């Protein structure tokens, strides 16, 4: 199936641990994102990568380190987890249109990883 897939779907861990979330898209897109959804369902961008290059970093603590081995994958590693990191993390992808009157390409989202830090 063509999709944005992320693993794991659920992640429960203790404070201070280090964990990773993986994301893969087979839509042929060149841009991938990490969004965080808090307990009030608010969605906020964390990072954006275009062709493996970091484009957007929205003042996220440096405990969060994204890594893009190729344009189809964007992983998120989190060091020294804190209680406030508990949230649902969504990976997304899109195809960037550059210049001219090309339309903005909407984001396609994965189904999320629910991270619970105890």
Partner 1 sequence: GQQLNQSPQSMFIQEGEDVSMNCTSSSIFNTWLWYKQDPGEGPVLLIALYKAGELTSNGRLTAQFGITRKDSFLNISASIPSDVGIYFCAGNAGGTSYGKLTFGQGTILTVHP
Q: Would you tell me which residues interact with partner 1 (CB under 8 A)? A: 4, 31, 33, 40-45, 48, 50, 55-56, 90, 92, 94, 96, 103-112
Q: Which is nearer to partner 1, 80 or 97 (CB)?
A: 97
Cβ closer to partner 1: 69 or 106?
106
CB of 92 to partner 1, least distance (A): 8
User: DSSP labels for the chain?
Assistant: --SEEEE-SEEEE-TT--EEEEEEE-S--SEEEEEEE-TT--EEEEEEEETTEEEEE-S--TTEEEEEEETTEEEEEE-S--GGG-EEEEEEEE----STTPPP---EE---EEEEE-
Q: Which is nearer to partner 1, 112 or 116 (CB)?
A: 112
The nearest distance, CB 62 to partner 1, in angstroms, is: 20
């Amino acid at each position: 199936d063509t999709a944005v897939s992320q693993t794991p779907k659920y992640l429960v861990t203790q404070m201070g641990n280090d964990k990773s979330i993986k994301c893969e898209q087979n839509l042929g897109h060149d841009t991938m994102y990490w969004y965080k959804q808090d307990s009030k369902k608010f969605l906020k961008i964390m990072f954006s990568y275009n062709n493996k290059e970091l484009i957007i970093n929205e003042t996220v603590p440096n405990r969060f380190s994204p890594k893009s081995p190729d344009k189809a994958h964007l992983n998120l590693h989190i060091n020294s987890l804190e209680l406030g990191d508990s949230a649902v993390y969504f990976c997304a992808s899109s195809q960037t249109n550059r210049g001219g009157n090309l339309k903005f390409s909407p984001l396609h989202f994965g189904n999320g990883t629910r991270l619970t830090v105890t």
